[in-house]
Chain A
Amino acid sequence: MTCARPVKTVAIVGAGPGGATLAVRLRRLGYRVVLVEKATFPREHIGESLTGECAIVLREMGFGDAMDAAGFPVKRAVTVHGPNKLNRFRVPVQRLGEDGVIIPGQTWQVRRPEFDSLLLNGALAEGAELIRAEARGVLRRDGRISGLRLRDETGEDSDLTADFVADASGLQTFLSRSGVCGARHRGGYEKQVAFYGQFEGARRDAAPDDGATHIFYAARHLWAWFIPISSTVTSIGVVTPGALFKESGQSVQEYLTEQLASLHPELSERLREAQPVSETWSTSNYSYHIDDFAGDGYLCIGDAHQFTDPIFSFGVSNSVQEASLAAGAIDGYLTARSVDRMHPIHTYADIVSRAQARVKTLIDTFWEFPLAFLKLAHYDRQADIAELLSGRLYSQSAEMNEAGIIMRDLLAKRRVAGDGRA
């Protein structure tokens, strides 16, 4: 490298897993990176179960040893339990080798305060800078984004100029709210509400499956998660149509307690000795997608532009994978001649939109054609479904995944048939 160009600056809003991953990637490409984060870490956050692909990306970035040392439970499979005791299928964490052989895989269940700090500290160790402030708006020069307006905890305002702005602000959807992106659409799962907490004494599977995720569903859109997050603590949540909660007239606490007792016999059996060790949290209105989430001088990753539904634990996995793709796109944008610079941004938007469409296809099929999903996952296309549920949604192989194509066609037929099967 002989020609010394001025180092370009990328500002990233949000230092969660997406923002931290992007920071690491961009530092390794030689950029100045400024993370803007309003919360003091460690902070609580929902979303504890990772996918197999997420673990591969974390190891590839060099976080494997630190993750192992943190003592996060090892997840080797997800078991989905349907309304009756027999309707159950287990999906292993796996990856397909070159010649189609299935290689058993594993990943982690994380305690988010520790996990997010681990990644952020990794980014800082790579030389990323961290500003403790809230991004309040964007700066523009000649119509193009040229930085961020910040406000720190003392109420002091300041400007941060940057050559590129990446939004990893999660559900806050900062760039969308700042009027930079296109329209915001409600997702199909936006009327859902989640209630959750942490419990000690829940019955786990026997080792080595003691870190496995269990999903229990009772009826359409009424389900619960069971995610071990330490050797003794299990994260448990119930997701329900908001209307059911309203009708119940119960408090958040009462509703969670009652649902845990009644939603599924195996869940209540596993919780017989369990005691809550956290408060009860709830969250709603998390299902949406945003148009034009990548453009001239900006892009959004993960929840900052789309979140569908948490049932298959894709959130962190998607943010981390999109961050990895975004780093390449931003590098392409900042190094290309100006006529070509939008090309990498459009490619990013295209790959990400396709992957997010696959997420939606999987989830929609699960709820709208539960029997067909069971047939695919348990009999016809086991390896394909395991591949998708392992979070491999952004690659060429995902594009050709037979089960993915079958599900997409299935949903398309239903749309053509109209309400024929409503």
Chain B
Amino acid sequence: MPAANRDYLAAWLAAETDLSVTELTDTSELLASGVLDSLKIMDLTMAVESDLGITIPLEDVIGENFATVGSIVQMLDRLQAG
């Protein structure tokens, strides 16, 4: 259910950052625009782990994977697929 991860992310971003869900597209810049900083990324990895049960391994905790909405969703889907 790929859409589930995207919905989760949208809700998390709306609650935890200044970004509103209506503006959200897959190419929305999160890092370059400053919506996410490194500490927010830490919060997100922990939220994803406790809420979705997806553990993001350290080798995936890299800027590229958190650059856009699309890249995060892609990573989550890949990790969930195992």
The answer, yes or no, to whether B59 is at the interface (CB within 8 Å) is: yes
The answer, yes or no, to whether A378 is at the interface (CB within 8 Å) is: yes
Q: Known A371-B41, A374-B42; judge A406-B58 contact (CB<8 A).
A: yes
> Cβ of A87 and Cβ of B62 under 8 Å apart?
no
Nearest Cβ on chain B to A408's Cβ, whole angstroms? 12
Within 8 A of B (CB), among A376-394: 376, 378-379
Q: Which residues of A contact B37 (CB under 8 A)?
A: 84, 86-87
> Cβ of B38 and Cβ of A371 under 8 Å apart?
yes
The 8 Å CB contact of A375, one of B34, B61, B64, B66, is B61
The SS class assigned to the B binding surface is helix
The answer, yes or no, to whether B39 is at the interface (CB within 8 Å) is: yes
Measured between alpha carbons, how far is A375 from B59 in the docked complex, in Å?
11
- CB closest residue in chain B, given A365: B58
> Cβ of A369 and Cβ of B61 under 8 Å apart?
yes
- CB closest residue in chain A, given B60: A372
The answer, yes or no, to whether B63 is at the interface (CB within 8 Å) is: yes
The answer, yes or no, to whether B5 is at the interface (CB within 8 Å) is: no
A371-B63, A375-B58, A410-B58 given. 9 additional CB < 8 A pairs?
Answer: A82-B38, A84-B38, A86-B38, A87-B38, A370-B38, A375-B42, A379-B42, A413-B59, A421-B64
Chain B residues at the A interface, C-beta cutoff of 8 Å: 34, 37-39, 41-42, 45-46, 58-59, 61-64, 66
Some 28 contacts from A to B, beta carbons below 8 A apart, are A82-B38, A84-B34, A84-B37, A86-B38, A86-B39, A87-B37, A87-B39, A369-B58, A369-B59, A369-B61, A371-B41, A371-B42, A371-B61, A371-B62, A371-B66, A372-B58, A372-B59, A372-B61, A374-B38, A375-B45, A375-B61, A376-B58, A379-B46, A410-B58, A410-B59, A413-B59, A414-B59, A421-B64
Shortest 10 CB-CB distances between A and B: which pairs? A372-B58, A87-B38, A371-B61, A372-B61, A86-B39, A84-B37, A413-B59, A410-B58, A86-B37, A374-B38
